[in-house]
């Protein structure tokens, strides 16, 4: 009798865990892919200027899972480092069969012309899209993504800009999935992004 009782209770336990897991996964669909900013409404409509000089909207930019980063090209240190990492993540994902885009939005529209952001992004990945815009367009895009930037005062030509360094993973229909910090590696980003893509299938 004993083995049968044991088997039955294990089955009941397994069933209970199954229901629990099901409940968790329906209420928190993003949990298996790691930390997600709950409650934050990140992303939304924007209109910016592409590297070709054409006006472009978020719907035309985010046509597949896309990594979105805000920075400026007059920044020899952090921005190239983060952009190179994001580019590396998309290469890693490509190797695994995932098609993921990457976007660099300038928060220094005064100096970053479409050509300059285009040159900058091509340096990291041929498909990385550089965007800039009018001051108002860039301000609106930054506010939609809840990012911060502020140009430092005191120098008209060589001023520096303080700015947020998060990278956002966005999906065309569902919008914001998660964000990455500076200390996340290209492998981290690739793993998490792949997980979100698999979960959305």
Partner 1 sequence: MYFKKLAATAIFTLLAPAAWADAAITITNAKSFETAPSAMVGGGFLDITNTGTEDDRLIAIIADFPRVELHTTEFTDGIARMMHVDGIPIPAGATVQLAPGGFHVMFMGLQGDPLEDGETIPATLVFEKSGEVEITFDVVKRDMQTSN
Nearest to 163 by CA among 73, 85, 70: 70
Tell me: does residue 186 bind partner 1 (CB under 8 A): yes
Tell me the DSSP string of 65-113: SEEEEEE-SS-SSHHHHHHHHHHHHHHHHHHTT---EEEEEES-TTT--
Q: Which is nearer to partner 1, 47 or 164 (CB)?
A: 164
Among 140, 144, 151, 160, contact with partner 1 (rule: CB under 8 A): 160
Closest to partner 1 by CB, 29 or 34: 34
Minimum distance from residue 188 beta carbon to partner 1 (Å): 12
The three-state secondary structure class of 195 is: helix
Choose which of 36, 58, 67, 74 interacts with partner 1 (CB under 8 A).
Answer: 74
When asked if residue 64 is in the footprint of partner 1 (CB under 8 A), the reply is no
Nearest to residue 198, comparing CAs of 175, 177, 176, 168?
A: 177
Among 54, 99, 162, 198, contact with partner 1 (rule: CB under 8 A): 162
58: closest CA among 180, 175, 196?
175
Residue 52 sits in the site that holds partner 1 (CB under 8 A): no
Instruction: Kindly state the number of chain residues that form the binding site for partner 1, as judged by CB under 8 A.
Output: 31
Alpha-carbon distance of 17 to 15, in angstroms, equals: 5
Is 73 one of the binding residues for partner 1 (CB under 8 A)? yes
List interacting residues with partner 1 (CB under 8 A).
Answer: 73-78, 80-81, 84-85, 88, 111, 115-116, 119-120, 122-124, 148, 152, 158, 160, 162-166, 181-182, 186
């Amino acid at each position: 009798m004993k083995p049968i009782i044991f088997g039955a209770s294990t089955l009941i336990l397994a069933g209970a865990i199954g229901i629990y897991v099901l409940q968790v996964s329906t209420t928190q669909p993003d949990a298996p892919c790691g930390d997600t900013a709950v409650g934050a409404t990140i992303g939304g409509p924007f209109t910016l200027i592409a590297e070709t000089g054409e006006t472009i909207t978020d719907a035309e930019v985010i046509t597949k899972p896309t990594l979105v980063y805000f920075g400026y090209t007059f920044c020899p240190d952090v921005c190239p480092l983060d952009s190179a990492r994001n580019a590396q993540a998309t290469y890693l994902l490509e190797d695994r069969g995932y098609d993921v885009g990457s976007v660099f939005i300038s928060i220094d529209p005064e100096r970053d012309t479409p050509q300059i952001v285009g040159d900058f992004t091509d340096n990291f990945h041929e498909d990385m899209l550089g965007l800039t815009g009018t001051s108002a367009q860039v301000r609106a895009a930054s506010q939609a993504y809840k990012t911060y930037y502020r140009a430092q005062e005191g120098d008209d030509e060589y001023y520096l800009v303080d700015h947020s360094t998060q990278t956002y993973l966005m999906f065309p229909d569902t919008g914001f999935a998660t964000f990455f910090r500076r200390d996340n590696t290209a492998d981290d980003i690739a793993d998490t992004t792949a997980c979100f893509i698999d979960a959305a299938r």
